[in-house]
Homo-oligomer: A and B are copies of this chain.
Amino acid sequence: MRYSRFFLPTLKEVPKEAEIPSHRLMLRAGMIRKLSSGIYEWLPMGLRVLRKAEGIVRREMDRIGGQEVLLPALQPCSLWDETGRWGLYGKELFRLKDRKESDFCLGPTHEEVVTDLVRRFLRSWKEMPLLLYQIQTKFRDEIRPRFGILRGREFLMKDAYSFDRDEEDAGKSYWRAYEAYSRICRACGLDFRAVEASTGLIGGRFSHEFMILASTGEEEIAVCSCGYAANLEKVEFSPVLPDYSGETAQSPEEVSTPGKKTVEEVSQFLGAEKGRFIKTLVYRKAKELFLVLIPGDREVNSKKLEEFVQGEAVLADEAAIFELTGAPSGFAGPVGLKKKAKIIADESIAGMRNAVSGANKKDFHLKNINAGRDFQPDVTLNIIRPAKGDRCLKCGGGIELMRGIEIGHTFKLGTKYSVPMNLKYRDQAGAENPVVMGCYGIGVSRLVAAAIEQCHDEKGIVWPIALAPFSVEIVALNYQDDDMKKTADRLYEEFSKEFEVLLDDREVSPGVKFNDADLIGVPWQIVLGKKVREGKADLGDRKTGMKTEYRLEEITGIIRDKLIRNGESSPDRA
């Protein structure tokens, strides 16, 4: 592709609305353009990358026996009524009426449609395992579209659905999809973790999220070197706590702490470690108040709290705290509130000895309080955020916290859809059984943005070769010079036979060419400058920034070697 003919509107300015690197860089590198909130156009540069991602996803789905279909975006309400999701899905579902006033939605996912398809035809156990997938535009009316492609309202998704005879076979299908997803992330050249996750609105019994690691990622995950990884809704671990062994329970004692409200202030004032405190937080879910107890040096894992209370829990306001505890905020504690509010304690609270907490009395705290004797939690949960160094339950190793972007989600659905929709098969004995299903999604457009979150620097995008829109960019400085033009054109023709090549033939300054080249992030840059007369050029590596001089006739071979070394075993398509 010649840059001068390419519809590639790069931007110098950083767009104001873009909050994260991938959004900024996709706009600046002319990959996408916003049409409306959460709705984006893919320009030629962006689409090249999207198609690369799509190709990798398709290849790996085919490899595990997936059969590609294309299901409609327009879905009739009647199908969604069969599972009750027409009522449950809420405002995220785009709904519309056709000219006959029939209700339709724009598919945010296709469980109902694919179950309806398969129940029409599937009869016998012999027809399974069956794995259908599609790569198709999905629609979700997000309450707050943001981050460009990452949380859009119209996006490209690969969704797959497995159909099996029983739990055991469904498990095999699940793990095949899990492996395919792992291969997809690896094939894209991305660092990722598959984490245990909860199932949300899709439902079912078992789930993993595939997270592309990136320091700018919107989600936190806990990982261990043994392979254990989970998101914060699901994480289980053993926190590292002070050693209380040998301490005997002493008598509770009220101490004056005038104006000292935070754990920080009280621990300084009393000369006690923060870990010695039982931090008592008053939460509210709708009209109900409840207490959450955690060690003073820890934070509440709000994802788990919301999972437990099945909804949104917020910190109570001053008035509610006063009404419950009889004291202003900062002096709440578990002692004496047993009947007034439910107490949820972190698992670590039971092992604490002679702890400090609020006395439910203005300007006073209690020392030497002990769970079981002085107060009794109603529920004990692992409800604190993990911290670096906490112990993995699987191997005892140290947990680490990382950030990532979810690009894939696998669900073991069981019979959640097959039972209400009456998808059955006859087994070998002739008996009818419900089909056991799984579903597996990858945000293909999301994958592109996540790759940029992981692979960029201050100058622009640094494409992994498998997703790169071009493998090679020829940066022809002073292309308007006849000799330069001749050489550049010749190399362009030659390389194009083997690689996907972008030739910067524009009449702009070398500075602009270098900046744009770094912005769009093609992995290999061949810089044709003054030394072309001597038959030489620089080969630049976008990732390391290293430039190496080669003779022109060597370059094809060098690039071929580099592409193969970088895991591209086959040459690019022409």
Q: Is the CB of B72 within 8 A of A43?
A: no
Cβ of A363 within 8 Å of any chain B Cβ, yes or no, is no
Chain B residues closer than 8 Å to A132, beta-carbon distance = 7, 44
Question: Smallest distance from the beta carbon of A352 to chain B beta carbons, Å?
Answer: 46
A105 to B116, CA, bound (A): 27
Cβ of A91 within 8 Å of any chain B Cβ, yes or no, is yes
A84 to B47, CA, bound (A): 30
Kindly report which residue of chain B lies nearest to residue A42, judged by CB atoms.
B70
Q: Is the CB of B69 within 8 A of A47?
A: yes
Chain B residues closer than 8 Å to A120, beta-carbon distance = 9, 33
Query: Which one of A95-103, A190-198, A233-241, A272-280 is at the interface?
Result: A95-103
Question: Smallest distance from the beta carbon of A145 to chain B beta carbons, Å?
Answer: 10
Cβ of A68 within 8 Å of any chain B Cβ, yes or no, is yes
Chain B residues closer than 8 Å to A96, beta-carbon distance = 94-96, 106
Query: Which one of A73-81, A199-207, A420-428 is at the interface?
Result: A73-81
Cβ of A67 within 8 Å of any chain B Cβ, yes or no, is yes
Query: Which one of A136-144, A221-229, A289-297, A553-561 is at the interface?
Result: A136-144
Cβ of A154 within 8 Å of any chain B Cβ, yes or no, is yes
A73 to B36, CA, bound (A): 11
Cβ of A39 within 8 Å of any chain B Cβ, yes or no, is yes
Kindly report which residue of chain B lies nearest to residue A90, judged by CB atoms.
B99
Cβ of A383 within 8 Å of any chain B Cβ, yes or no, is no
- Scan A2-17; emit 1 where CB is below 8 A from any B CB, else 0: 0011110100000000
Kindly report which residue of chain B lies nearest to residue A33, judged by CB atoms.
B117
Cβ of A429 within 8 Å of any chain B Cβ, yes or no, is no
Out of B5, B35, B130, name the residue touching A65 (CB < 8 Å). Answer: B5
Knowing A6-B67, A68-B47, A96-B96, the reply to whether A73 touches B137 (Cβ < 8 A) is yes
Chain B residues closer than 8 Å to A106, beta-carbon distance = 96, 106
Kindly report which residue of chain B lies nearest to residue A114, judged by CB atoms.
B41
Q: Which of A50, A121, A154 has the most CB of B within 10 A?
A: A121
Chain B residues closer than 8 Å to A104, beta-carbon distance = 36
Knowing A6-B67, A7-B67, the reply to whether A72 touches B41 (Cβ < 8 A) is yes
Chain B residues closer than 8 Å to A143, beta-carbon distance = 99
Q: Is the CB of A36 within 8 A of B113?
A: no
Q: Is the CB of A139 within 8 A of B74?
A: yes
Out of B4, B35, B70, B113, name the residue touching A72 (CB < 8 Å). Answer: B35
Question: Smallest distance from the beta carbon of A78 to chain B beta carbons, Å?
Answer: 9
Q: Is the CB of A73 within 8 A of B117?
A: no
Kindly report which residue of chain B lies nearest to residue A48, judged by CB atoms.
B68
Cβ of A391 within 8 Å of any chain B Cβ, yes or no, is no
Knowing A74-B39, A76-B36, the reply to whether A69 touches B98 (Cβ < 8 A) is no
Cβ of A375 within 8 Å of any chain B Cβ, yes or no, is no
Q: Is the CB of A73 within 8 A of B154?
A: yes
Q: Which of A67, A75, A91, A154 has the most CB of B within 10 A?
A: A67
Cβ of A532 within 8 Å of any chain B Cβ, yes or no, is no
A437 to B94, CA, bound (A): 33
Knowing A33-B117, A141-B98, the reply to whether A70 touches B91 (Cβ < 8 A) is no
Cβ of A153 within 8 Å of any chain B Cβ, yes or no, is yes
Question: Smallest distance from the beta carbon of A98 to chain B beta carbons, Å?
Answer: 5
Out of B50, B69, B75, name the residue touching A42 (CB < 8 Å). Answer: B69
Knowing A7-B130, A130-B7, the reply to whether A41 touches B67 (Cβ < 8 A) is no
Question: Smallest distance from the beta carbon of A408 to chain B beta carbons, Å?
Answer: 21
Chain B residues closer than 8 Å to A9, beta-carbon distance = 120-121
Cβ of A147 within 8 Å of any chain B Cβ, yes or no, is no
A120 to B34, CA, bound (A): 11
In A31-59, the 8 Å CB interface with B consists of 33, 35-36, 39-44, 47, 50
Chain B residues closer than 8 Å to A40, beta-carbon distance = 72
A47 to B70, CA, bound (A): 7
A96 to B94, CA, bound (A): 8
Question: Smallest distance from the beta carbon of A34 to chain B beta carbons, Å?
Answer: 10
Cβ of A335 within 8 Å of any chain B Cβ, yes or no, is no
Knowing A67-B7, A143-B99, the reply to whether A74 touches B154 (Cβ < 8 A) is yes
Kindly report which residue of chain B lies nearest to residue A445, judged by CB atoms.
B70
Cβ of A552 within 8 Å of any chain B Cβ, yes or no, is no
Chain B residues closer than 8 Å to A35, beta-carbon distance = 71-72, 74-76, 113, 116-117
Chain B residues closer than 8 Å to A153, beta-carbon distance = 74, 98
Question: Smallest distance from the beta carbon of A424 to chain B beta carbons, Å?
Answer: 16
A50 to B33, CA, bound (A): 28
A141 to B99, CA, bound (A): 7
Chain B residues closer than 8 Å to A137, beta-carbon distance = 73, 137
Q: Is the CB of B69 within 8 A of A43?
A: yes
With A35-B75, A43-B69, A74-B153 given, can you name 11 additional A-B contacts, CB distance below 8 Å?
A5-B65, A7-B121, A36-B74, A41-B71, A73-B73, A73-B137, A73-B154, A74-B94, A91-B99, A94-B96, A106-B106
